[in-house]
Amino acid sequence: MPGDQTGKCSLVNLSLFVKRSYEGHTRDRATLDHRSTPFAWDCRSIFPLRIAEGYTRSVARDLRVSRSEKLAYGVHAVLEALQTGDATAVFFTEQGREAHPDLLSLANAHGLKTEIRDEVFFTSQIGKVPHQGVMARVKPYAYATAAEALSQPGPLVALAGIENPGNLGAVIRTAAAFGIRSLLLEDAGSVRVNASVRRAAAGYLHRVRIARCDLSTVVADRGERQWLALDPRAELTITECLGAADRQRLGLLFGAEGKGIAPDVLQKARWQARIPIAADVESLNLAVAVGICLFALQA
């Protein structure tokens, strides 16, 4: 790059160039080595190399997430994908084909491509995870709108900024077990429905309508919903608050792992409640907390 042009570089150009370089030259790779990107080297006199590294890693991470949203693995997740029409192709290991002939038959009945692939291929797609010898390419999850989710009858669950896909999958499974039909996710910073979420949901992903939205706006609007936010610092317990709530109109709001619910969202809820636990125990796993609250809701 000529010296008189380097001053025209910008962070926007940097991100765009790295993205295009990645997509054009390493489309099928899971990660991006910044050392192979000429732009990162040419701009080092202006931008610290760590900035280029950050952008390349961000691009690689976004592309991995995008691919993960189009995959499912594990027997229950793949079976659900086949039953709902989400699956577009199914892959087996040799052992997986022998262990799950029902999945192979179902895939063939739907006219889907099936292939026998080795462990190297599976690892390249989903990493080293307990896949049970079966994986599928799937259509990305079709989210509901907030209005659709809010219009579903009965109580609903809202998660403010959940980041762990295993936790989200476990919450989906727990919600389905208690007959919850709607789940709201904070759009900013929340994990998307990907292969790990499908695996943890264990075949119950489509029992619950999931919407991504601005929870602060939804909770402030209230409408027909009565919002109860879980806060370990609250004075009232969950059972005390449930006694005053219209349970069929209730929205249960849970915070992100570690960070909890943002203060601006927390203060907009009608009630703040806690789950009483031993003083020397800091907190509960998110899916466990959701399960306790939903059990109390039905009691």
pLDDT at 224: 81
Residues in contact with 128: Cβ distance below 8 Å, sequence separation at least 6, in sequence order: none
- pLDDT-based confidence at 130, cuts 50/70/90? very high
The angle at the Cα of 249, spanning 158 to 268, to the nearest 5 degrees, equals 55
pLDDT of residue 40: 37
pLDDT in tens, 203-238: 999 999 999 999 999 999 877 899 999 999 999 999
CA dihedral 131, 139, 188, 290 (to 10 degrees): -50
| Domain spans in the chain, listed from the N-terminal domain onward | 6-68, 71-138, 146-298
Helices (H), the chain: 11-25, 38-42, 49-68, 75-84, 94-99, 101-109, 119-126, 146-150, 165-177, 195-201, 215-221, 238-242, 263-266, 286-298
Predicted local distance difference test score (pLDDT) of residue 260: 87
**What dotted CATH number matches 146-298?**
3.40.1280.10
Query: Tens of pLDDT along 133-181?
Result: 999 999 999 999 999 999 999 999 999 989 999 999 999 999 999 999 9
pLDDT at 221 (0 to 100): 86
Asked if pLDDT for residue 120 goes beyond 60, the answer is yes
Phi then psi dihedrals of residue 264, to 5 deg: -70, -25
Q: Please name which of 139, 138, 147 lies closest in space to residue 184, comparing C-alpha atoms.
A: 147
pLDDT band at 121 (very low <50, low <70, confident <90, very high): very high
CA terminus-to-terminus distance, the chain: 69
Tens digit of each residue's pLDDT (9 = 90 or more) over 61-106: 444 447 899 999 999 999 999 999 999 999 999 999 999 999 999 9
- What local confidence, expressed as pLDDT, does residue 49 receive? 42
pLDDT at 298 > cutoff 70: yes
pLDDT tens digits for range 18-71: 444 444 433 443 333 333 333 333 333 333 444 444 444 444 444 444 789 999
CATH number for the domain whose boundaries are 71-138 = 3.30.1330.30
Residue 241, Cβ neighbours under 10 Å: how many? 22
